[in-house]
Amino acid sequence: MDGGLRRLQRDLKLIQAEPCGVYVTTRGDDLALLDALVLGPQDTPYDGAMLHFQLKVSNFYPMNPPEVQFLTTDSNKLRLHPQLYADGKVCLSILGTWHGPRWTASSSIRTVLLSIQSLLCEDPLRCEPGMEAASDERVELANVFVVHESVRVGILPMLEESPTWGTDEAAEVLSTAARAYLSQRLSTLLRRLSSLATRFDGQVMREPFNFGAEASTCRRYDFEGLARRLQSFSPQPEHLPPASSESEKAESKDDAVTSLPEEEEALCCRICHLTLEESETELIEPCQCAGSIRCAHSSCLIDWLKHTGAAQGEWRCDLCLAPFEVRSAPGQPPGTKLLRRSLLEFVDMQLPVECCGLVSILLTSICQTLLMCLCSGIANILYLAANVLLSPVGPSYDVLKWPLAVPAVLLDLTAMGSYVLLVGVKVAMLVRAAESRCIMVCCELQEQLLVWVAEMLTLLWNIRLAGLLALTSYFTADHLCRTCLGVNLLLVAEWPLFGHKPEVISFTSFSMRANSPAQILRSFSMSCWVYQGIGVASALVNLLAILLLLKAAFLDARSVPVAILTAEKLKKE
């Protein structure tokens, strides 16, 4: 938190050095809880308003944005803007509560407050999605409501009673700033209230930002009453600081300008805001950014990029989008962490590419098994239907069943052809992996098939990579036993245990009557040395993929980023 604390202190110092309509103060020595005052911009319905926000800064600052709560809500009853809710919620993209540009490592407390100030525009109703084309009459009525409530809740309580940020010594910074600002805008506000009083006083107030109900309140507009209450402060009381003259403003502005370069002479990291002397770590210029944000510590950048979750090959600057040049070194193998990954992560290429390809090979093998089981089962059902249809004919039906078994034979031939095709696909993927350490699927259809298989396995059994390895290992061993020994793996395993041949069903094949056409075709194909060779090749590809995945998990060191190079280093190299 030391770097984050230093960054927060510097952010607060910059806000004080550059007055821009936002002020921040701390509650004692606690920097985790801040009070901020955002002044309403001129020529908007919020002109003169003093909006109070509370910011909670976590230990992960500046990696994470602060939590912001809006407090000028009249005890959670008033909504002054579509993105400032009555319960205190602030909808802002930089805070992750609205769509749009997100928080970056170069963002700060000042960035958040200025973004909030930018919400206070001339037509706040049009900030609500779907209201961009609202009629001018409806927009004007919303603006009238905002002017009335901004004075009632955001100005008068500041003058007549203690403000919402309290009366302690630390809050005096906000009180002084608010009163000085109000003294400059008082005459303009009085003219606006007088103009609106002639048109709207006595009319029922309607909540313009309660889009679901549009219910009216029991209150009525009273601009004249607000003007009278505000008029009593027109002759500036002694406790109000006088408005500074133009010459004084120019002089103070010049002083601020002349005092800043002294502070900015020493370059600092744009993430932790520590200078070279304070951190004793080299500052680099890793991208095309210029000015005060051009420098950073390599370690700070790596921490930020890891925090964002971006893939290492896609690390680039959040601002100028220039890619970073990353120096990597071997790290520790992932171990069982890799085996506990979901299959969908590999299919979506969220992990190292070579591992994704190896998992694709194993999922293709599962496709082979499912295809053979499905086609064999359907062929059995078709042949059974032929037997049922011909059962009244008598023993001579054996002669007639061959034509009726043609669909089952064609289905078996299709399944075998698809099996051979998938074996070729697996071999091609493995060869490409050996050449470039990168396996990609061959076509969009194959990719969709792999995604479907991964989703099915994840849905039914929540199988992780370890489960896929075990499942494919069993199917591969069973296939080798049936191809080379003529029996399935369960028989081989249970003979020594039970001492007799158990009645089991293979999960990778379906048996049929010995004299059935489909079974004759299967028996012939299983005994054919070409088909057996293809089966052995398929099993060997599976075994090799399994071994390579285990090697990647327990033996291969992962590439770990250790430094980000500067622009000068890139040119030299």
Q: Which residues are catalytic?
A: 91
**Contact present, 108 and 72 (Cβ < 8 Å):** no
**Contact present, 420 and 368 (Cβ < 8 Å):** no
What is the residue whose two structure tokens read 């790290």?
331
How far CA 520 is from CA of 36, 359, 514, 524, in Å, comes to 85, 35, 7, 6
DSSP 428-491: HHHHHHHHHS----SSHHHHHHHHHHHHHHHHHH--BHHHHHHHHHHHHHHHHHHHHTSS-HHH
* Cα–Cα dist 20/113, whole Å: 10
* Cα–Cα dist 389/297, whole Å: 81
What is the signed CA dihedral for 413, 415, 418, 423, rounded to 10 degrees?
Answer: -110
Tokens of 153: 């809740």
List the helix and strand counts (H, then E) for the chain. 20, 10
